[in-house]
């Protein structure tokens, strides 16, 4: 049997449980993109862990980490054992440096090229990854799904870890993947992976929920009834728009069109995932508010920090109040509780 790229394979490995006889859930943490608003995402995750009294690294509880842009950076860090609070601290410390305030930012982005220095982003990635920047995805056993856009081919490039099979695992380093999925046009220059210019994955899959599900089912065809997903947004996609604002000129659409398209994709992916997983899916997000903190991706200052951090705490508390049992089960470090156990690829035979 041949794969799409011509590589031979014996068969698709079956999922197995580390506990004999148990119907183990496969748990997926999916993190949306959104620039500096990722501070909200990180704070919401920390808040959920605090409410569930969950300390330490999450890769002992969660099988697959999926993320786009800033969500991709967080997912890469979490997949190699960086604790959520350290991820939050890194974003909090580096955000204002990465998104350094610029005068006439919109004009500069429109007419004078990219706005921000990629070196500051690279430094933030190094600190967030905690010494794992040079680790290659092909050497990571936990599930990792991170999209970017191949500019030349005009297609989504999905970076996968070894969890999805050696033949499909990427040889790129975590740092390369983080730079690629974060290279938002007009904000940062393209990032090159194996000589190819890559752009922000948010152009096609700002919310990677359905992308992750597709890759999981491709790897484990019968696993869908056992998949559980916690999806965390970056605040804002749930907002409702005034009907009269739909009538605009071309120039009037320019500032908001890209964000609107990303919001639509984000909500669509969440709705589709909910239909597939029903009560095994939980989406945690904030509806947004008339504030730069929720309307822009690069407003990094004391005021937006305060709004995003508080919003993250608020939604975590609200989610735990309504879905505490799901959250505690999902984040539990003891996978034996309730007959749970991590789902790992069958070691024999492996995909070639």
Name the helix (H) or strand (E) containing 304: helix 302-331
DSSP secondary structure letter of residue 13: P
170 cis-preceded (ω within 30 degrees of 0): no
Q: How far is CA 155 from the centre of its chain?
A: 18
List CB contacts of 24: < 8 A, sequence separation 6 or more: 15, 17, 18, 226, 335, 339, 340, 341, 342, 343
Q: 């509780």: which residue's tokens? A: 337
Closest to 167 in 3D by CA, of 343, 6, 1: 6
Q: pLDDT (tens digit, 0 to 9) for every residue of the chain, 352 residues total? A: 444 444 444 344 444 443 333 578 999 999 999 999 999 999 999 999 999 999 999 999 999 999 999 999 999 999 999 999 999 999 999 999 998 875 545 555 555 556 788 999 999 999 999 899 999 999 999 999 999 999 999 999 999 999 999 999 999 999 999 999 999 988 899 999 999 999 999 999 999 999 999 999 999 999 999 999 999 998 875 566 667 666 666 666 555 656 766 777 888 899 999 999 999 999 999 987 767 777 788 889 999 999 999 999 999 999 999 999 999 999 997 654 433 445 555 433 333 2
Q: Tokens in use for 340?
A: 């749970």
Give the pTM.
0.85
Q: For the CA atoms of the chain, what is the radius of gyration?
A: 20
List CB contacts of 176: < 8 A, sequence separation 6 or more: 191, 193
CA distances (Å), origin 267, targets 95, 185, 261, 285, 326: 25, 22, 10, 11, 21
């Amino acid at each position: 049997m041949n794969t799409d790229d011509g590589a031979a394979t014996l068969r698709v490995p079956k999922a197995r449980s580390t506990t004999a006889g148990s119907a183990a859930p496969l748990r997926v943490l999916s993190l949306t993109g959104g620039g500096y608003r990722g501070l909200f995402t990180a704070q919401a995750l920390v808040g959920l862990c605090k409410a569930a009294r969950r300390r330490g690294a999450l890769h002992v509880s969660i099988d697959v980490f999926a993320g786009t842009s800033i969500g991709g950076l967080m997912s890469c860090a979490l997949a190699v054992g960086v604790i959520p609070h350290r991820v939050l601290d890194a974003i909090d410390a580096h955000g204002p440096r990465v998104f350094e305030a610029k005068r006439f930012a919109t004009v500069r982005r429109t007419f004078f090229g990219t706005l921000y220095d990629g070196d500051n982003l690279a430094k933030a990635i190094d600190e967030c990854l905690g010494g794992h920047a040079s680790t290659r995805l092909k050497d990571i056993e936990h599930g990792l799904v991170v999209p970017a856009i191949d500019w030349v081919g005009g297609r989504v490039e999905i970076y996968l870890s070894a969890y999805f099979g050696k033949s499909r695992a990427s040889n790129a380093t975590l740092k390369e993947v983080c730079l690629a999925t974060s290279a938002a046009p007009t904000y940062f220059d393209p990032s090159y992976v194996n000589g190819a210019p890559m752009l922000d994955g948010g152009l096609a899959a700002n919310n990677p929920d359905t992308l992750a599900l597709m890759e999981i089912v491709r790897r484990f065809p019968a696993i869908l009834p056992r998949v559980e997903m916690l999806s965390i947004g970056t605040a804002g996609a749930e907002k409702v728009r005034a009907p009269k604002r739909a009538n605009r000129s071309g120039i009037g659409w320019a500032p908001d069109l890209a964000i609107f398209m990303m919001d639509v994709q984000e909500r669509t992916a969440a709705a589709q995932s909910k239909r597939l997983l029903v009560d095994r899916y939980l989406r945690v997000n904030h509806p947004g508010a008339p504030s730069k903190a929720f309307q822009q991706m690069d407003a990094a200052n004391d005021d937006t920090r305060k709004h995003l951090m508080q919003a993250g705490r608020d939604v975590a508390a609200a989610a735990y109040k309504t879905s505490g049992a799901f959250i505690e089960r999902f984040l539990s470090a003891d996978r034996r509780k309730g007959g749970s156990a991590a789902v790992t690829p069958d070691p024999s035979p492996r995909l070639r």
